Every structure is written in structure tokens, then in C-alpha cells.
Structure 1
Amino acid sequence: TLASLGVTYHWDSKSQSAFITKGTDQIKLTANKKEAFKNNKTVQVDVPVQVTQGRILVPIRFVSENFGYKASYEKLRSILFIQDGNYKVDQENLQAEDLQTARQAAISLPVQFSFKSLSSLEKPGANKEYNYIFPRGDSSRYMYGNNVGNTVVEVKDGVAKAVWQFTVSRGLEDIASSAGKRPSYNYVQWVTDILMFNDEHGNIKAVYKDDKGQQKDLTAKAKSYTDIIQPIPNETRKH
């Protein structure tokens, strides 16, 4: 995982220390200690290094911020976003004519809130199953649903903003609790090109209609949340 930040690292089993390097900077973290070293200077770590099942777990915020990255955690989808100082939103992909590209770019943005989120939607296990629903032919808004409730998100000028959250007692119209402002458009009647959700085996399941209007389904082995959007397979060949 650290390699994706452009760093190199090695583990010294004798001292039980991880050495993480980027350019001329190096951080030394030792198992079960809150004291670390950056370029041989002592720094304090909130959470000590842990060794679990043959894996080295290091505090990602400490490591990323010490190498000039910004780390932020989105509670809604339980996603950690790490951005470098030169990061810019890919407006070209967000505005792409290809819906697959535009929608993937849309869900890759951190969801921001201008209101207090429903805490029930952020509880552990709430995202064990989840789905994204887009209106037909649209990538500028979507509804994210998990085991507990739903969040309507609008994407504008490279920013994804939650506009409304709700939980239901029975159907989508039977609102049990809500936060934010209910949109004027009828989200219940959104017609989707493709409905995506997590199945009980951790795979991504997609239900869609082909060019003849016949409902089809597709199962994909997903490695990350962006993999939920898959090309609709050509009926003449297998993917």
C-alpha cells in the first residue's frame, strides 16, 4: 500500500523497525513504540507500529503527512483519501462523454457535507453492502446506499456534495429519518443504466439492460471501490 505513495521501504527483523524512504527523507518506525525518527530526528507518533499476521501496520496519516501528502477520512463510505500537494481534480474525466469514465471520476471524489451527517449511516458494518444509483445518462448526481440508508450526492465544479440523507421504514417514500435538504427532483423514479451493489461474497454485482432492453447481470471481482464501474460486456465476446 505504501508503494502507491511513491515511497520505498524495508523491514529490519532484528530491530523490529520499518524504514520508509522518499527522496532524501527517511522515517524509522519501530514496532510497539510511539517514538519514531525522521532523518534521525525524534518525532512522536499517535499510534505505534503493529505487526499482525505477518503484515507491518504503520500509521498512514503520520507517514503520508510527513512526506507532504494530505490524508482525510470520509466516514460515509469508510474511505481514506491521500492526496499530494500537486493534486488537481480531473475535470476532463468528470465531463467525459463516456458515462463509465465520468461516473468513475464522480465517485472517486471525497463526499463533502454542509450539514451534520446521520451517524447511523457511518456505524461499523454499515457499508458491508452498498450500491450506487445514477440517473439514466447522467454522471452529475448519484445516490449512495448502504445497509442503513441513502445519501444523495451532487457533483459540480469538481466537488461532490451530499445534499440529503435519509433512512426508510419500508419503501423509498416512507422516510424514517433524514438530514440535509430533500431535493426537488424525484430521486425515487431515477431510471438507471446500471445498478451496482456488493453481493454476499464481496464481489461486485451489476444489473443492466442490453441494447434490446433485456435485463442482464454481471459479476466482477473488485479490488477497490472504483472497480464497481465495469464496462458492459459486448454480447459477442467475453471479458
Structure 2
Amino acid sequence: MKKVIVFVFFFVLMFQSWAIADAANPISVNAVNVNGKFIATDVSPIIKDGRVLVPIRTLASLGVTYQWDSKSQSALITKGKDQIKLTANKKEAFKNNRTVQIDVPVQMTQGRILVPIRFVSENFGHKVSYEKLRSILFIQDSNYKVDQESLEAEALQAARQASISLPVQFSFKSLSSLEKPGVNKEYTYVFPRGDSSRYMYFNNDWSAGNTVVEIKDGVAKAVWQFTSGNGLDDIVSSAGQKPSYNYVGWITDILMFNDDKGNISALYKDDKGQQKEITAKAKSYIDVIQSIPNETRKH
């Protein structure tokens, strides 16, 4: 049984990230977020020659369709009137029958077709960005707008999921310890009770660092980062502006462990001092949202 310190009045998830290291461009992809929704995939993205390739099915929510010709080992990808043809092991591609060059060809992994995401997305007018803090690949179409109603939903579970689905922006230089490849293999989110407008994100190795994020007008901004020694109030180094509120007050020490069925269980005490337990399935990033019994939103 693996024991760690975790927190009450929050949601939590620990699982292995898609740790990927390329000699020229070492990064990891913890999750893929398409138009504000985390997409669960049965095959992990890969890095090839410094380029991220994702399962082509990941793009279905963007209105992309495809056909795979097993004989020619080529994929014909269509959106609207535009078509792209990619062939395995070839850096020559075709867009609307016009020859174009790509940095890395289509790859086949475990029976799944993986395509270079930046090339495909940008040729269809999509925006692709990579957030180093949480190792998340964000893909958005040209018409995408933040769903403000979801951020303000009465149901905390929905509002919090919308909150963590926003790319985190920085106005200061992030701590290098939080941008190392693979640092997000195990991580935790913690919210104040009844609140979805701010959270603290950290790798379960506290020495790597912690990030306080605030959400306002559909934008998630990192306001402060810090590394700690013996507890969250023992600040070793920091970046940004320390908030005036008591972020340590968001948390309580509890016991969390992995069981032999792949579940994450957490023991904690409720408002009446009664010991409670919550259990979460750790299958994908989507499962990070867990409702807490008797928790209500603050107005």
C-alpha cells in the first residue's frame, strides 16, 4: 500500500502520465484536450523526431473524418472541402492534391493510426498549443469559445472540470522544476471548499513545486509558484506574487492509497469529525474530478 499526504475538499487522481522523451525535444504528454474537453485515448501519443503524433480518432470531435487504405498504408483525412493524404514512412503529403512536405510521416502503433498533430490541425485551421506545467496538449478549432456557463455551473464537479480544462497562462517565468519531462507522472489538484474559481496544482513530489491558479473571465492564470520544505508553509523558492488568502487552509492531511483493482482511495474526516472514504477510478485524466459528499458551492 502506497501512503502519501493528500487533501480533503478537492478532487484527486494519481496515475502514470504518457511519459515521452525524445533526445532532441524531451517532453511528456499527460493528456489531450480538444475544444475544452479531455479526450481519453486507448493509445498514447508519441514523439517522433521532436513532433507529437496523436491517434487520428482524437480529432473526431473537430469534425475530422478519415479513411485508411491498408494496401497503400495511407490515410485520407477530410474536413469540409479540404483533404489531406498522408502515407506511412513518407514525408511527402498531399493537401487538396497539392504536394506538401511534412517533418514526420504517419505512424502505426498497436493497430492505431497516429498523425503529426500540428501539421494536420494547422492545415485544417485548428490551433495547437502545449502547456508545459501540466504536460497537456490543447487542440482548438477556429470557432472555439470558452464555455462560460460550464465554468459557472451550480454542480461543482462540472465547474471544476471546466476550470482545469483551461490552458494555464503565465505572466512570470515558471519554476524550472515543474517543467522537467515526466515530472507530472503523479499529481494532485486541490480547490477551496465549495469553490471552482481557483485551485492549487502540484506534483506529488512536493519538492518539485506547487502552482496556484485563478480563473477569471474564462482565463486561467498562474499567480504564484513555490517549492516547499517540511510542509506548504515552509517556502524554499517562489515565483510570481504570493496571494493574500490562506492557501494552506484549503487542505487537511489524510491518507490515500492504491488498491489492487487500480482504484485510488482517500480517507478523511468530514465537518462532523466522522471518518469518510472516497474511491476513484484512475483510467484517464477525465477521472480527476471527484465529488465530495455534502460539499456546496459558495456564492
- Does TM, normalized by the shorter one, top 0.5? yes
Residues 219-228 or 77-86, more deviating: 219-228
The match for 1:155 among 198, 211, 215 is: 215
Map of 1:90 onto structure 2: 147
Other structure's SS at 1:58 match = strand
- Larger RCO, structure (CA 8 Å, separation 6 or more): 2
Residue 39 of structure 2 corresponds to which residue in structure 1? Answer: none
Q: Of 114, 127, 133, which residue of structure 2 is paired with 1:70?
A: 127
Q: Which runs of 4 or more aligned residues in structure 1 lie more than 6 Å from their structure 2 counterparts after TM superposition? A: 194-202
Q: Contact (CA 8 Å) 2:175, 2:209: kept in 1 or not?
A: no
Structure 1 residue 228 displacement after superposition = 1.2
Once the two structures are TM-superposed, the CA of residue 32 in structure 1 deviates from its matched residue by 2.0
**Residue 164 (structure 2) aligns with:** 107
Structure 1: stretches of 5+ with no match in the other structure: 235-239
From 212, 217, 220, the equivalent of 2:280 is 220
Query: What are the within-5 Å matches in structure 2 for residues 168-179 of structure 1?
Result: 168-179=228-239
Q: Provide the secondary structure at the position in 1 that maps to 2:233.
A: coil
1:40 aligns with 2:97: yes
Tell me which moved more, 196-205 or 114-123: 196-205
Contact (CA 8 Å) 2:106, 2:113: kept in 1 or not?
yes
* Structure 1 vs Structure 2 CA RMSD: 2.8
- Kept in 2: contact 1:110–1:160 (CA 8 A): yes
Distance 1:227 1:59, change over 3 A: same
Stretch of structure 1 that moved more, 32-41 or 4-13:
4-13
**CA distance in 2: counterparts of 1:7 and 1:112, whole angstroms:** 28
TM-score by length of 1: 0.86
Match of 1:237 in 2: none
Unaligned runs of 5+ in 2: 1-57, 295-299
**Is contact 1:106–1:139 with CA below 8 Å preserved after alignment?**
yes
- Structure 1 pair 33/204, CA: closer, same or farther in 2 (3 Å)? farther
Partner of 1:29: 86
Pick closer, same or farther for the CA change 1:205–1:110 going to 2, 3 Å: farther
Kindly provide the CA deviation profile for residues 8-50 of structure 1, in whole angstroms up to 9, marking residues without a partner as x: 1122222221111122211111112222111111112222222
SS at match of 2:154: coil
Q: 1:129 to 1:63 in 2, by over 3 A?
A: same
Q: Distance between the aligned counterparts of 1:195 and 1:156, measured in 2?
A: 32
CA offset digits 1:130-172 (Å, max 9, x no partner): 1111111211110001142210000001100001111122211
Aligned to 1:126: 183
Deviation at 1:222, TM superposition (A): 4.3
- CA offsets, 1:72-104, max 9 Å, x none? 111111111111121111111212232222211
Cα drift, residue 55 of structure 1? 2.5
> In structure 2, what residue type is equivalent to 1:150?
N
**Greater mean deviation of Cα atoms: 49-58 or 120-129:** 49-58
Q: Describe the shift of the 1:204–1:82 C-alpha distance in structure 2 as closer, same or farther (beyond 3 A).
A: farther
